[in-house]
Structure 1
Amino acid sequence: MDARIITYELRDRIAWIGLNRPQKRNAINEALLAGLEAAVLQARREARAMVLFGHGPCFCAGLDLAEHRSREAAEVFQHSRAWHAVFSLIRRGPVPAIAALHGATVGGGLELAAACHLRVADATAFFALPEGSRGIYVGGGASVHVARLIGAARMMDMMLTGRVVDAATAERWGLVQYQVAESGAIGQAEALAARLADMAPLTVLGVLQALPRIQDMSEEDGLFVESLMAALAQTGPEAAERLGDFVAKRGAKVAEPGEGGGP
């Protein structure tokens, strides 16, 4: 991994992965994609949660068009599939990923954010899919994953009109789960990551691996897989310990919002 283009730090079971091309607004080129792949694979070996963030003025301004404009159609196809493969390491991997977003989160940057399991946006974050205005089409998974988050109609609007969405609208649409004050995304992501790192591994397995697949199943098949996952999670040592703590009134109860119930 090239530390000049991707930074990596492991702290308290949390892997911090930083996009580090600030002079290019963290645009994704071949080197950054390769560095991201290496960092995610390292996080899968040693972390219990990971946070992706951008150094400099924004999270990620998308595809490096200077590198992309000379590609032939077959090369564009293979390049798109390479993005899918790397982003799938995040989406389908065993380690929950949080995107801490500020400034431009557009095009391929939005696709990368959508590959994460949780998204936190500070007040400066804005979102767009400018590929339509540039005569190209999304290639990093937006047709599936962004459309599933916000709906195909809203994605059509963004691509056809060039609409730019602010953080408040993104939260209302379901594009991000948390909206925080300017410069607050890293702090919120850290708090969330600490909670995720402490979760029972079999519960994390169910949320990351079973839940997304259940969405593509029939109702009856989805319920069947849910029952299997519930049975599997019950076999973990954490289940017996944590349920015992709750029954013995040693475990924390669910609190109302704003009363210590979570980030």
Structure 2
Amino acid sequence: MDSRAGESVEMVSVDRLAAADLDPVTPDDVLSWVALPERGQADVETLAAAAERARRSHRILIGIGTPSADLEELLDALSFTFHDGTVDHLNTVQVSSIEDAAAEVDKAVGATPLASMTCTGLLRMTESLRVRDGLVAESLAYSTLQSGPEFTRWLKGDRRHGQSDSGESIRVRRDGDRLTVVLDRPTMHNAIDAAMRDQLVDALDLALIDDTIEDVVLCGRGKSFCSGGFLDEFGSTPDPATAHLIRTQHRPGEQLHRLAQRMGPRCVAHVHGAVIGGGLEIAAFAGSVVADPQSFFRLPEVSMGLIPGAGGTVSVSRRVGRWRAAWMMLTGNAIDAETALRWNLVDDVHTASPAI
């Protein structure tokens, strides 16, 4: 360790990374910081060797420094890179204070190191898998973490979200060749419980079965598109293996992906207000995502000792890249509609929504 980006964050040089493998991960040591060299200060062979060792490592590797063309292979191999310049690059996250941003990630990863390492490793894996295979891998990783100490600790906390509603929580409307599917639990900010998920699966099945449906619109009623999963049901399945079976048989995100393959941008998700967790993960599979200007987007599952479990390691990473997806997942930070548009998480920003 040869330099620091803050009082508690130790840095690894590219020369050190290229020379030998970093320490193996342990349950309380999964993160390393890599100091990027200035343009021209490292030779091609050293950068290539550093990138290769980064790809082999199970550690979370976060770069700090100024991106440049000669660093592209290394930037691609890292989990992501912080910089405070003006470059808007797919595998970097621009921040106003590198020291503050690094301290925030250090604290977040320190709180849930097992979930954090699982998340970044899975993101590397799913970027080369087909959507269906990526969803299976995500579910298996999610089930593994459900039996882990970090999620167990979260379950013991106060996570009460309110009572689950009875009755229909999905409204479906057919207008000619258009099917509109509305999340309709407005008092719960459209939090997705098991009943709502099953109704959503049934609604999307209609569009998959009926070839005369040429447009699908997914939207939400109330102040929010969707605040994520219904927290009171987290950990309520009999065991992680059963939970995996349920997830693989009830995947609205995969259904929306299949519809997007058939319809392209005519399979559209209109989002507004809170677009959190599973709500974001599902919507990101749509052929087009249109956001209200006041929308905000978060993926908080890693802080609970889990990973996104509704397809987000596949859908979100395919939109924003695995690097920015990793930053969103590790920190749980919200991004606004303007950032979401710049990062390609959404395709358009305007106020029109069919359900608000």
1:142 corresponding residue in structure 2: 312
Query: Judging changes above 3 Å, is the alpha-carbon distance between structure 1 residues 13 and 89 closer, same or farther for their aligned structure 2 residues?
Result: same
Cα shift at 1:3: 7.3
Distance 2:295 2:231 in 1: 21
Whether 1:70 and 2:240 are equivalent positions in the alignment is no
- Tell me how far 1:87 sits from its aligned partner: 2.1
Gaps of 5+ in 1: 188-263
2:179 to 15, 22, 25: 15
Shift of 1:177: 0.4
1:109 maps onto 2:279 in alignment: yes
Shift, 1:167, TM fit: 0.5
Q: Give the superposition deviation at 1:76.
A: 2.9
User: Any conservation in 2 of the 1:83–1:140 contact (CA below 8 Å)?
Assistant: no
- TM-score with structure 1 setting the length: 0.65
Q: RMSD between aligned alpha carbons?
A: 1.9
The offset of 1:175, in angstroms, is 0.4
Matches within 5 A, 1:78-97: 78-84=245-251, 86-93=252-259, 94-95=262-263, 96-97=266-267
| Structure 2 residues not aligned, in runs of 5+ | 1-165
Q: Which protein has the larger Cα radius of gyration, Structure 1 or Structure 2? A: 2
Does 2:191 correspond to 1:27?
yes
CA shift, 1:134, in A, is 1.5
SS at match of 1:185: coil
Distance 2:250 2:328 in 1: 21
Instruction: Please say if 1:161 is aligned against 2:337.
Output: no
Structure 1 ranges of 4+ moved more than 6 A = none
Equivalences, count: 183
Alpha-carbon distance in structure 2 between the residues aligned to 1:161 and 1:90: 27
The answer to whether the 8 A contact 1:110-1:127 is kept is: yes
Task: Report the Cα offset of residue 70 of structure 1.
Answer: 2.4
Question: d(CA) in 2 for partners of 1:140 and 1:82?
Answer: 12
Instruction: Kindly state the Cα deviation for residue 79 of structure 1 after the two structures are TM-superposed.
Output: 3.3
Question: For residues 303 and 336 of structure 2, what CA distance do their matches in structure 1 show?
Answer: 19
Change (3 A) 1:83 1:103: farther
* Structure 1 residue identity aligned to 2:257: R
The residue that corresponds to 1:185 in the other structure is: 353
CA distance in 1, matches of 2:325, 2:232: 25
Q: 1:121 to 1:105 in 2, by over 3 A?
A: same
